[in-house]
Copies of this chain bind each other. A is one copy, B any other.
Amino acid sequence: MSQLTISQVARQVGLQPSAIRYYEQIGILLPAQRIGGQRRYDASVLHRLAVIQQARQTGFTLDEIRELFFGFREAATASQRWQRLSRRKLAELAELTAQIKTMQRLLQKMMECCHCETLDQCGKGIFKKGFAEVRAKSLSLNRRTGR
């Protein structure tokens, strides 16, 4: 009775069924029990998915989430696991913030100081300053829909 189908689970956690199949495929959800070929879940999968969603919300990749579940010695507690991964992620986010700030400063300065008529003129200025400074570790900020 408390056996849920994949789309019932999906609805409860706000995911598409395909996402749940994908999670199983890449090994962050254990293969579900099948009945007549179809997946059946009990409530524990909701907790598992809650952890996954929480981790996604805080910026973890699916690889990191796999690490959360399987990258520790058996005896490690949940809070120990979160500690280690969170510390790392906080450092990443701090670096990301720093890079965003750099962008903001550059944009501000350009808005204030650029009085160029043409983009070629503008480029001439940028080129002379040896603009190729920070290039090495810039990062792209890709948006995602989330649905």
Contact = CB atoms under 8 A, between A and B. Distances in A.
B47 A116 contact: no
Copies assembled: 2
Interface string A45-80: 011111101101111000000001100000001110
Contact of A100 (B49, B50, B93): B93
A35 interface: no
Nearest to A144: B140
Contacts of A132: 13-14, 53
The majority secondary structure among interface residues of chain A is: helix
Contacts of A51: 119, 122-123, 126
The 7 closest A-B pairs by CB, nearest first: A47-B123, A50-B127, A78-B116, A50-B126, A51-B123, A50-B123, A14-B132
B47 A114 contact: no
A83 interface: yes
Interface in A106-147: 106-108, 110-111, 114-124, 126-127, 131-132, 134-144, 146-147
Contacts of A53: 126, 131-132, 135
